[in-house]
């Protein structure tokens, strides 16, 4: 296993460096600061000077555009240098709970860029789009099998949009039955913030149900909250605390007994591929996050995709248009072909470029590969948890699935050091911090998800780094309060950023003189 370099002791003002800096780029000026009048690269030919004369003057832009002027080498250097200020999966370990930061396979990047896929117009006639239509149809079949549901829509552009799609379908379902009394959606207190936000967007009131001390949904509390006013219950399984809901059968029975539908937030599918099929178990609808379970890149915050799978009850309400088989080929549903649909949730067919990557991922893994993903993800999480059990409080006794919660509550009482400080100090050790302060139900918590693509050496190095940091908390707490010490920028003044928002550079007139640096 890797040997850990001892951190330097605290100097007079707390400038103890960490053992490993992995993000080491140089700060860069912004594009407007680099701009110099006249710099350009010829990307397209020049049009004739009268090309715009037929546009009425009142509708034409008067005055300069005021955009930065750089030539190509400068543009490239600017963005390459900026990239070196980023941590990424390709850089190092990224154990963010609830995000599933697994390796992004490079063949998927190649696939999405194939001109046959990349250059296809979204409104191309079906006859011209048979390759993509077949890919989408086949991807739906894979997701149907994985989810245990009956049908899939690939339209939603993200998990949150998938949630909205699911809840809107549930709304349509109840209205179609003539039931207008169902105005509430129940979510557990540990739920991801998108769940109640989605319920509100769809016009429902959110009712929150507390978890038990063991971190499970409180069945009695759920039963008490359920009634003829409940449209749906949104559950994450495994939960956001990284544990399987052992009473899932009783929970689903209670939901259906009240005439409500059960939505599964599929963010944590990485733990249960081939082990638990939500549709088979009784969920009515679920969404996937392709950028979590199926390795599509996070891109610094997107794009992702949020396919939604449904059982028989919600099938009539799926967004339009669906992809259908047409003899030997495939076609899109025609207008008016399925009037019960909730309509469109986005333009065109969906984030197809992302879906191509998910498709490639699934085909590469196959049945055995996907099961291996979940088994290794769960094994790694439990292994890492066992390595840290002596250092952090583990609030729950139940076996973890693909992620676990640990608390620094006792460390804070003992040393004054908070989980935030520990997280920031991890940066000095060359790691991206785990998710902190989510879920909201555990004090001073971190949520750690190693994923299946990290080696035992990496897991051990991470555990040793945390153990070392907690030792630092006892001896040099100020070192942690001031961390990180060795990153391109250190702790930021977020209060001023919010009080006096500076959200864009100074407007440019298009006649900027040379900017002094």
Partner 1 sequence: MQVPDDLRYTQDHEWLRIEGNEAVVGITEYAATQLGDIVFVELPATGTALDAAQAFGVIESVKTASDLFAPAAGEIIAINESLADKPELVNDDPYGEGWMVRLKLSDPAAVAAPSDHLMDPDSYRKLVEAG
Partner 2 sequence: MTYGPHTPADREWMLGALGVDSIDALFADIPVAVRAHGLDVPHGLDELSLSRRLELLAGRNRTDLVSFLGAGAYRHHIPATVDQILSRGEFYTAYTPYQPEISQGTLQTIYEYQSLIAQLTGLDIVSASHYDGAAATAEAALMTVRATRRDRVLVSRAVHRHFVDTTRTYFEGGRLELDELPTLPDGTTDLGALERELADAARPVAGVILGQPNAFGILENMADAARLAHAAGALFVAAVEPVSLAVLAPPADYGADIAVGEGQPLGIPLQYGGPYLGLLCARADLVRQVPGRLVGRTTDVDGRRAFVMTLRAREQDIRRDKAASNICTNQALCALAATVYIATLGPHGLRDVAALGAARAKQLEDALGAVGVSRIHSGPYLNEFAVRVPGARRVHATLVERGFVAGLPLADWYPDDPALEDALLLCATEVTTDDDIARFATALREVTR
502 binds partner 1, rule: CB under 8 A:
no
- Residue 237 CA to residue 265 CA, distance in Å, equals 7
DSSP string, 442-461: STTEEEE---TTS-HHHHHH
Q: Pick the binder of partner 2 from 333, 372, 393, 443 (CB under 8 A).
A: 372
CB of 514 to partner 2, least distance (A): 16
CB of 56 to partner 2, least distance (A): 6
- Residue 73 CA to residue 67 CA, distance in Å, equals 17
Burial annotation 448-484 (CB, 10 A radius, 16+ → b, else e): bbbbbbbeeebbbbbbbbbbbbbebbeebbebbbbbb
Q: Pick the binder of partner 2 from 256, 303, 324, 478 (CB under 8 A).
A: 303
68 binds partner 2, rule: CB under 8 A:
yes
DSSP letter, residue 316: G
3 binds partner 2, rule: CB under 8 A:
no
Footprint on residues 73-92 left by partner 1 (CB under 8 A): none
Identify which of residues 6 and 494 has a Cβ nearer to partner 1 in the complex. 494
Burial annotation 355-384 (CB, 10 A radius, 16+ → b, else e): bbbbbbbbeebeeeebeebbebbbebbbbb
498 binds partner 1, rule: CB under 8 A:
yes
89 binds partner 2, rule: CB under 8 A:
yes
288 binds partner 2, rule: CB under 8 A:
no
- Residue 15 CA to residue 9 CA, distance in Å, equals 8
DSSP letter, residue 421: H
Q: Are 370 and 273 in contact (CB under 8 A)?
A: yes
Q: Pick the binder of partner 1 from 495, 503, 511, 514 (CB under 8 A).
A: 495
The binder of 214, among partner 2, partner 1, none, by C-beta within 5 to 8 A per type, is: none
Identify which of residues 6 and 301 has a Cβ nearer to partner 2 in the complex. 301
113 binds partner 2, rule: CB under 8 A:
yes
46 binds partner 1, rule: CB under 8 A:
no
The binder of 96, among partner 1, partner 2, none, by C-beta within 5 to 8 A per type, is: partner 2
Footprint on residues 337-366 left by partner 2 (CB under 8 A): 342-354, 356, 360, 362-366
The binder of 183, among partner 1, partner 2, none, by C-beta within 5 to 8 A per type, is: none
Identify which of residues 87 and 437 has a Cβ nearer to partner 1 in the complex. 437
Q: Which two tokens mark 468?
A: 């070392």
Judging by beta carbons within 10 Å of its beta carbon (0-12, 13-18, 19+), is residue 306 exposed, middle or buried? buried
Quickly list H helices, 188-324. 194-201, 219-225, 248-257, 278-281
Q: Pick the binder of partner 2 from 378, 405, 461, 470 (CB under 8 A).
A: 378
503 binds partner 1, rule: CB under 8 A:
no
Identify which of residues 3 and 498 has a Cβ nearer to partner 1 in the complex. 498
The one segment of 98-106, 312-320, 324-332, 491-499 that binds partner 1 by CB under 8 A: 491-499
Footprint on residues 205-234 left by partner 2 (CB under 8 A): 205-206
Judging by beta carbons within 10 Å of its beta carbon (0-12, 13-18, 19+), is residue 213 exposed, middle or buried? exposed
DSSP letter, residue 397: -
- Judged by the rule CB under 8 A, the positions of this chain that interact with partner 1 are 494-495, 498-499
């Amino acid at each position: 296993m890797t040997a850990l370099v001892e951190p330097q002791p605290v100097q007079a003002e707390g400038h103890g460096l960490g053992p490993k800096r992995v993000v080491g780029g140089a700060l860069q000026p912004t594009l407007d600061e680099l701009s110099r009048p006249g710099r350009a690269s010829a990307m397209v030919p020049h049009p004739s000077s009268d090309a715009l004369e037929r546009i009425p003057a009142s509708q034409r832009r008067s005055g300069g555009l005021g955009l930065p002027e750089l030539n190509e080498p400068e543009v490239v250097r600017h963005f390459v240098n900026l990239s070196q200020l980023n941590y990424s999966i390709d850089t190092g370990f990224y154990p963010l709970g609830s995000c599933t930061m697994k390796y992004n396979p490079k063949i998927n990047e190649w696939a999405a860029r194939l001109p046959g896929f990349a250059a296809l117009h979204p409104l191309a006639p079906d006859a011209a789009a048979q390759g993509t239509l077949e890919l989408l149809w086949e991807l739906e079949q894979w997701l149907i099998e994985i989810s245990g549901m009956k049908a899939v829509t690939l339209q939603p552009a993200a998990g949150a949009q998938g949630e909205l799609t699911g809840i809107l379908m549930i709304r349509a379902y109840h209205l179609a039955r003539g039931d207008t009394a169902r105005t509430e959606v129940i979510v557990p207190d540990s739920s991801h913030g998108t769940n109640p936000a989605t319920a509100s967007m769809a016009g429902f009131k959110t009712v929150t149900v507390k978890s038990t001390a063991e971190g499970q949904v409180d069945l009695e509390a759920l039963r008490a909250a359920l009634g003829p006013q409940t449209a749906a219950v949104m559950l994450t399984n495994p939960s956001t605390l990284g544990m399987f809901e052992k009473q899932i059968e009783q929970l689903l029975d209670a939901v259906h007994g009240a005439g409500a539908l059960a939505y599964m937030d599929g963010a944590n599918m990485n733990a249960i591929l081939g082990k638990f099929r939500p549709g088979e178990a009784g969920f009515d609808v679920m969404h996937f996050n392709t950028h979590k379970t199926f390795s599509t890149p996070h891109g610094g915050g997107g794009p992702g995709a949020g396919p939604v799978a449904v059982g028989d009850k919600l099938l009539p309400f799926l967004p339009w248009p669906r992809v259908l088989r047409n003899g030997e080929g495939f076609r899109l549903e025609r207008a008016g072909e399925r009037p019960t649909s909730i309509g469109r949730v986005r333009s065109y067919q969906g984030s197809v470029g992302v879906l191509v990557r998910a498709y490639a991922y699934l085909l590469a893994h196959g049945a055995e590969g996907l099961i291996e993903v979940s088994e290794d993800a769960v094994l790694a999480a439990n292994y890492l948890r066992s390595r840290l059990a002596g250092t952090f409080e583990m609030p729950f006794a139940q076996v973890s699935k693909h992620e676990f919660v640990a608390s620094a509550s006792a460390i804070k009482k003992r040393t004054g050091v908070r989980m935030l400080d520990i997280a920031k100090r991890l940066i000095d050790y060359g790691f991206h911090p785990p998710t902190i302060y989510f879920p909201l139900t555990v004090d001073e918590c971190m949520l750690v998800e190693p994923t299946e693509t990290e080696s035992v050496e990496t897991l051990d190095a991470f555990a040793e780094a945390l153990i070392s940091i907690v030792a630092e908390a006892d001896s040099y707490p100020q070192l942690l309060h001031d961390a990180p010490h060795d990153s391109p920028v250190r702790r930021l003044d977020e209060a001023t950023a919010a009080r006096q928002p500076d959200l864009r550079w100074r407007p440019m007139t298009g006649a900027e003189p040379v900017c002094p640096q």
